[in-house]
Structure 1
Amino acid sequence: MSDRIRWGILSTGAIAATFAGDLRLLPDAELAAVGSRSTEAAERFAAEHGAARAHGSWQALVEDPDVDAIYIATPHSAHYEAAMLALRAGKATLCEKPFTLAVSEAEEMAETARAGGVFLMEAMWMRCIPAIRRMVELVRDGAIGEPVSVHADFGIQGPFPETSRLRDRRLGGGALYDVGIYPVTFAHLFLGVPSTVQAWARMSAGGVDENTGMLFGYDGGAVAALTCSLLGDSARRGTITGTLGRIEVRRDFFHPHGFTLWRGEEAEEFDLAYEGRGYQFEAEEVHRCLREGLIESQLVPLSETIDILRLLNDISGIIGLDYSS
């Protein structure tokens, strides 16, 4: 592995731009190339973000010999196709969440990566944020006792037109897979896989969920109450309550700069501020794994990515969200 990890970004949308911006915060990262189905879009992105090369096809990007790792930033429905191209070309792959819209496709991606000895990780940046990692450590070390409940909400301000990607069923639109994956992942980090799942949703005319509530029950008696929405800007709070205390994130629980640990009425503040939007931490994890010769991250393991995708699939069945047709 060279001194710098050379990245290729596949797709040129808003999240690709955010990732490119945060990549500049890593001294050992280089934005080597960008690939798009449009040569013009690739050239514009390369000029704006300083990529050395612009490719007018995904295939050309994954075949670029001067690219070490591919970041896949397409809409959800194209993740499988793009990731399989990258993996078959032997490129380390960081694929945006959700991995895919079908569990079988995610399993095939994981099997392909393992069989080929190629690194693969879901770009669930939340799991790599320093404050989230510190919360997980504290709960694991017993700082709040036994976790008994998790509450989290993520709603974004609408309305969005039916033409928006967020409402387009063909692109994997809807609240659950776009923003609901964050509260579901938050609950999973602290409570694991639930034994019972209940869910309710208001569905759009186009067949995607736009306001969804979820209630998880666990064998040990813990519960999680979660919501996601495309209709209004929620508080975006996250709370983990235990038998000896609780942890609270007052805003944007999925990429916080800090949190509060409560024991009774005594509060301890944790400040873990960072530059940028926080996408650099998932790239940094990819760098660590590649330098250590790993093909999978222990911080964002493929098994848990697939467990969460199965859970989203179960919720989809309950609320009537169907991407198969």
Structure 2
Amino acid sequence: MTNKTINWGIIGLGNIANKFAQDLLTVEDAKLYAVASRSQEKANTFASKYHATKAYDSYEALVKDSNIDAVYIATPHALHKENTLLCLEHNIAVLCEKPFAMNAVEVSAMISTAKEKNVLLMEALWTYFLPHYQYVLKELENKTYGNILKLEADFGFYREFDESTRLFKKSLGGGSLLDIGIYPIFAALSSLGIPKNIKTDATFFENGADSSCHMIFNYNNDVTAHLKSTLLEKTPTEAIFYCEKGTIKINKGFFMPTTVTLISDGKEETIDFDYKTIGYNYEIMHFNKLLREGKTESNIMTFEFSKKLIKLLDDVRVNIKLEY
């Protein structure tokens, strides 16, 4: 596949799929070949908008198309395992939107199948591949400002409760934790690793989906991560790493293309990464490279990392007594 144009398929054609498709258009030697929805009309409209060759009215029809090299799964959380396994059984590489699945058991089954079939599988947590986030991780790893003492990370916005929508539907994994709480948890895991213990506090909507979740991850040497997700209010959406000799602050929208402010010795410097896209192209390019090299696992978003991430989400759910 060294020089071959990679033909992408998309399963699930909601908001995030539109963003992914828009950025896919900016990636060299890759094209949107096919899309699938349960509605032929929706598939046709999406295909026309992003110049896809084929539009299918079922996921089963899409995976039977032998021209497809990779599939991006952008369906609701509760369908990730089922949709991933469908693609893997047809030997199609899968980039599955976060959260990888509903729980650690499902994630384990997906990874086991990918290994058994020897097919590339990766969780699409786009933040990991963004240049500003990779820059911050390197600064932390190099201890430019010494060891991390505390992390504060939040993600919150307000939406009026509507149980008919995916965001609030508990059966689909709706609520703040899986949808947006995963980002602050990701920030803690990628910078500090697994905590020695977790403290949590949550509020709930009338249908039992979590409306907000406050988490404190405790590490050795009194290092803490204070994390928050909420659908009740707009929050700064920052990730702030307080270190021994300075502070690294990922500014508004820390999980998406943004700027980084470095604070040390009373001086501030803000770095602009000059983003030109929504940001999904970075994970696409990484995935394409893996596919071309015949790899079956990412060296950045590893299976082990995805397992740790879903385990932390499971642990928080147990703590706040949230069951799907």
Is 1:280 aligned to 2:293, yes or no? Answer: no
Spell out the pairing of 1:59-78 with structure 2 (5 A cutoff).
59-78=60-79
Match of 2:115 in 1: 114
Match of 2:195 in 1: 194
Match of 1:7 in 2: 8
Task: Give the unaligned 5+ runs of structure 1.
Answer: none
Match of 1:253 in 2: 254
Cα shift at 1:250:
2.4
The AA in structure 1 aligned to 2:43 is A
Cα shift at 1:107:
0.5
Match of 2:81 in 1: 80
Cα shift at 1:3:
2.8
Cα shift at 1:38:
2.4
Match of 1:236 in 2: 237
Q: Partners of 1:256 and 1:193 in 2: how far apart?
A: 26
Deviations 1:220-247 (A, max 9, x none): 4310001110111111111011112120
Match of 1:144 in 2: 145
Q: Could you say what secondary structure the match of 2:171 adopts?
A: helix
Task: Give the unaligned 5+ runs of structure 2.
Answer: none
Match of 2:213 in 1: 212
Give the conservation status (yes or no) of the 8 Å contact 1:250–1:259. yes
Change (3 A) 1:276 1:256: closer
Change (3 A) 1:49 1:292: same
Match of 1:157 in 2: 158
The AA in structure 1 aligned to 2:33 is A
Give the conservation status (yes or no) of the 8 Å contact 1:249–1:256. no
Cα shift at 1:257:
2.6
Deviations 1:286-321 (A, max 9, x none): 011112221111111111111111111111111121
Give the conservation status (yes or no) of the 8 Å contact 2:252–2:258. no
Match of 1:224 in 2: 225
Q: Could you say what secondary structure the match of 2:222 adopts?
A: coil
Q: Partners of 2:190 and 2:150 in 1: how far apart?
A: 12
Give the conservation status (yes or no) of the 8 Å contact 1:9–1:73. yes
Q: Partners of 1:39 and 1:277 in 2: how far apart?
A: 27
Deviations 1:270-296 (A, max 9, x none): 221212211111111101111222111
With normalisation by structure 2, the TM-score equals 0.97
The AA in structure 1 aligned to 2:320 is I
Spell out the pairing of 1:38-77 with structure 2 (5 A cutoff).
38-77=39-78
Cα shift at 1:88:
1.1
Q: Partners of 1:42 and 1:20 in 2: how far apart?
A: 13
Q: Could you say what secondary structure the match of 1:225 adopts?
A: strand
Moved more, 197-206 or 212-221: 212-221
Give the conservation status (yes or no) of the 8 Å contact 1:122–1:305. yes
% identical aligned pairs: 37
Cα shift at 1:48:
1.7
The AA in structure 1 aligned to 2:63 is V
Deviations 1:44-97 (A, max 9, x none): 211122110011211111121111100000000100000000111111100000
Cα shift at 1:31:
0.3
Q: Partners of 1:156 and 1:213 in 2: how far apart?
A: 14
With normalisation by structure 1, the TM-score equals 0.97
Moved more, 173-182 or 289-298: 289-298
Match of 1:166 in 2: 167
Q: Partners of 1:213 and 1:89 in 2: how far apart?
A: 41
Match of 2:272 in 1: 271
The AA in structure 2 aligned to 1:306 is K
Cα shift at 1:263:
1.8
Q: Partners of 1:13 and 1:253 in 2: how far apart?
A: 23
The AA in structure 2 aligned to 1:37 is R
Cα shift at 1:120:
0.6
Deviations 1:96-119 (A, max 9, x none): 000111211100111111121110
Q: Partners of 1:291 and 1:143 in 2: how far apart?
A: 35
Moved more, 250-259 or 169-178: 250-259
Q: Partners of 1:222 and 1:125 in 2: how far apart?
A: 26
